[in-house]
Amino acid sequence: MQEPTFLILTALAAEPAHGYGVIRAVEQLSQGEVVLRPGTLYGALDRLTEQGLVEVDREEAVDGRLRRYYRLTDSGAAALSAQVERLRRNAEAAAARLRIAFGGA
């Protein structure tokens, strides 16, 4: 799973969000290292929707524009959870090797 996908799913894990909310959450979660452009985000949301990992929660009109809210599905939560475990195992393995090689970390 690519980092932007991981962060989008993470952003939606807490509560449904609209596109701009997801962009802000991803930027916060990554401490500014990942900044999604709207085209990139909506392409990813379309792909994640097709994969059944996210779905449209609701739509509302705001200032004459349609705002679509997305939410994580059960499948999305399972995929995110599996990725968290994979990253945790990899981080632990890296830390163990650093301790062996350098006596720290």
Q: What is the mean pLDDT of residues 45-58?
A: 98
What's this model's pTM, rounded to 2 decimal places?
0.90
Ordered structural domains, the chain, with CATH:
3-99 (1.10.10.10)
2-24: per-residue pLDDT in tens? 999 999 999 999 999 999 999 99
- Cα separation, 8 vs 30, in Å, equals 11
Helix, strand, or coil here: 18? strand
68-104: per-residue pLDDT in tens? 999 999 999 999 999 999 999 999 999 999 999 998 6
User: Phi first, then psi: what are they for 38, rounded to 5°?
Assistant: -55, -45
The pLDDT value recorded for residue 39 is 94
